[in-house]
Amino acid sequence: MSKRLHVGNLSYQTTTQDLATLFGQFGEVLDATVITDRESGRSRGFGFVEMDEMAAEKAMTQLDGSRMNGRAVTVTEARAAARGTRRETGPAMN
């Protein structure tokens, strides 16, 4: 079974490949993504990594608070998206 991790406080220069490389030290990375702004394409300063549950636990313990590209990153278990968000219900009515 896999686990999805939220990685916060990322430098705006951090790439998806940087995340995959960092977390790859702890096991196979199934997916890694830095979230970007739709309009500008600029990083929003956070991302997600999906790994095997045991590797994810180890990575979370070892990497939370560690420095990456000059910033202390936060690594926590990702929460499921809330129901009823605009993304799930479609565009807002004007």
Q: What share of the chain in percent tops pLDDT 70?
A: 85
How far apart are the C-alpha atoms of 7 and 28, rounded to whole Å? Answer: 17
The string of pLDDT tens digits covering residues 10-44 is: 999 999 999 999 999 999 999 999 999 999 999 99
- Residue 88 included in any domain: no
Residues spanned by the domain of 74: 2-79
- Residue 93 included in any domain: no
How does DSSP assign 19-86, residue by residue?
HHHHHGGGS-EEEEEEEE-TTT--EEEEEEEEEEHHHHHHHHHHHTT-EETTEE-EEEEPPPPPTT-H
- Residue 94 included in any domain: no
**Structural domains of the chain, count:** 1
pTM: 0.83
The string of pLDDT tens digits covering residues 69-84 is: 999 999 999 998 655 4
How far apart are the C-alpha atoms of 66 and 61, rounded to whole Å? Answer: 10
Q: What is the CATH number for 73?
A: 3.30.70.330
Per mean pLDDT, which range of 38-47, 48-57, 79-88 is the poorest? 79-88
